[in-house]
Structure 1
Amino acid sequence: MSHAENRDTICLEEAQILSQIAYPGDQYIVRLQAPRCALRASPGSFAHLTCDPTTPMRRPLSIMRANADQGWLEFLYKPVGRGLAQLANRTIGESVSVLGPIGHGFVPDPGRPVILAIGGGVGIPPIFFLAERLKDDPSVELLVLMGSEVPFPFELGKSSRVLDGIPGDVTATIASLEDWGIASRLASSAGYAGCYEGMVTDLARSWLATFPLRRLDEVQIVSCGPLPMLAATAALAEEYGLPCQVAVEEFMACGVGGCAGCTILVRTPAGPAMKRVCVDGPVFEVQDVFLLQQGRPVTQRSRTSSNRS
């Protein structure tokens, strides 16, 4: 899809708040009535929200769910910064300006039917969205692994499903995924019952270590989460020779490719180039992203800082 075509799918609409629920760990899930955006949303895309009329700068939020029939979008967020703190104070019935959906989402390879989906923290929404989209696809074998250091903002359950490579005492799962027939497990260093004690990427490595070698060419990885987690995911994909798509999060201003404030350094056929996370991404092939520079992707700001040092 060309960038022009991508921008042609973006809608601007006033969205009514249908629900706003607070969860432990200073997390919120807000549902907005935005039928035009909901119709076009895809896993990995995001929306740019005006959180409060007094704050003109929009905030980008990954879409966690979209119901095209009922016309709503859901977002998971933490009220970090002035804008999102204002959004957390908004109530049912109020309106929020929504610009979206923006960006290129996940495009799983149909030739690799086994999808290892890894989400961490505020990077969970695109993975949850992808899982919901794929739940009725019989050609896909999906394993969802999610990590968080605060309580998961979902109803949890205990899975009786045995997964090779997953320790037997790791049984915590997201109830809705279990209901959809999707295998999932949770990881945390916070000591939550039934969760893997450690990093979610270590749990993924444990699963891959027992996966039949003859079937590795059926596996692909998709991931979204904190940058250290993406770096660990990239290393895991390289270790096992697996294709991997990552959804990258970056500070942005306009959100539609005009300001180039969210650029990161990526590999292209013509050589290294700066690409905009908002419209060229946010999903990239992991091997194309220069993931590590002191633990974060190389961005326009980090290049400038390096040049000044």
Structure 2
Amino acid sequence: MSKEQDATIFEEQARVLAHVTHPGDQYIMRLHAPKTAARAKPGQFVHLRVSPERPLRRPISIMLTDPEHGTIDLLYKAIGEGTQLLTERKAGDLIPMLGPIGVPFDLSDHTKRYVLIGGGVGIPPMIFAADQLQGKADCILFAGSEVEFPFALKPSTTLLPGINGNAILTIRSLEERGIPSRLASNAGLYGCYEGHVPNLARDYLQALRPDERARCVLLSCGPHPMLHAVAKLGRELEIPTFLSLEEHMACGIGGCAGCVVKTLEEGQEKYRRVCVDGPVFAAELLPEFA
């Protein structure tokens, strides 16, 4: 871990302010963690100690921050013993936490149109990116899930090129702030595109004029099969693509090298740690997604 990264990772006793259950074993937790809230950027994550009985922490992507009130929001799914223990934490509990960790998405070029593609628990970094881009750069969010979305939804009033009339639902909190979004699912969810979310994004991108498509950048987080499809989409349409990888982590701060991924940089194979050298990488650097 570099000295710069070390100086921006903090250990906090994060206090649970709210913990809400959603369909499909999904949970949204709000924590009071002012140091992390003040510095976190889209694509970064926190490393939580889920229970006093479990010393190993769990990495969870940051979905939103409120620096003024010192809070962060996390969305996670209870899929293993660790996250199942996390579901038992109640308002008022203190959770040892490291954050914010990792290299975030680069959102600095406001001449670009950011196309955000999230799947399942990979949606939170996309929500965070959309929130940070509001009023600064064009962006659109496509989200995919096989269970009910844990957000308030509404029919969109924004027409999007290439999107058929069946995909009408949008994330209400984004739509109300002028950020367009559309949803995809293979579970027959009402108002959603029937199919995988990269295909929904493809329909949109292919319907754009060439000059509009040339401004686009793809940012994505989600399951590896979805990331493979997004990387392929970026190659086919010659659009710069950046992926946030979700890997099993032990230390979460670069010490154990338990989350390495192979990269190809200037013709040389290297192994980078997802936790601190990522989790965001340019797709072109990842042979797995070539």
TM bucket, shorter chain: over 0.9
CA gap 1:194/1:87 in 2 versus in 1, 3 angstroms: same
Shift of 1:75: 0.6
Partner of 1:218: 215
Q: Which residue of 1 aligns with 2:47?
A: 48
Deviation (angstroms), 1:183: 0.7
Aligned-residue CA RMSD in angstroms?
1.3
**How far off its partner does 1:292 sit?**
4.6
CA distance in 1, matches of 2:2, 2:166: 47
In the alignment, is the contact (CA less than 8 A) between 1:3 and 1:280 conserved in 2? no
The alpha-carbon deviation at position 216 of structure 1 amounts to 2.4
**CA distances 1:209-254 after superposition (whole Å, capped 9, x unpaired):** 1110133221111000100000000000000101011100101100
Matching residue's letter, 1:120: G
Counterparts of 1:251-262 in structure 2 under 5 Å? 251-262=248-259
CA distance in 1, matches of 2:96, 2:146: 31
Q: Aligned residue for 1:18? A: 17
AA aligned to 2:270 is A
Q: Is the 8 A contact 2:283 2:289 kept in 1?
A: no
Match of 1:73 in 2: 72
Q: Which residue of 1 aligns with 2:284?
A: 287
CA distance in 2, matches of 1:276, 1:112: 31
Give the match for residue 5 of structure 1.
4
- Paired position in structure 2 for 1:245: 242
Please give the per-residue CA displacement for 1:191-226, whole angstroms capped at 9, x wherever unaligned: 111100000000111111111013322111100010
Written as runs of structure 1 = structure 2, the 5 A alignment for 1:128-277 is: 128-137=127-136, 140-269=137-266, 271-277=268-274
Divergent runs of 4+, >3 A: none
**Comparing 210-219 and 185-194, the one that deviates more:** 210-219
Q: 1:133 is paired with a residue of what secondary structure? A: helix
Identity %: 44
TM-score of the pair, normalised by structure 2: 0.97
- C-alpha contact 2:227 2:289 (8 A) present in aligned 1: no
In 1, Cα distance between the equivalents of 2:176 and 2:182? 14
- Separation (CA, whole Å) in 2 of partners of 1:112 and 1:289: 26
Task: Describe the superposition over 1:3-40 as per-residue Cα deviations: whole angstroms up to 9, x where unpaired.
Answer: 32112100001011000000001100011100011111
Task: Number of aligned residue pairs: give it.
Answer: 290
Q: Measure, in 1, the Cα distance between the counterparts of 2:37 and 2:110.
A: 28
Any unmatched runs of 5+ in structure 2?
none
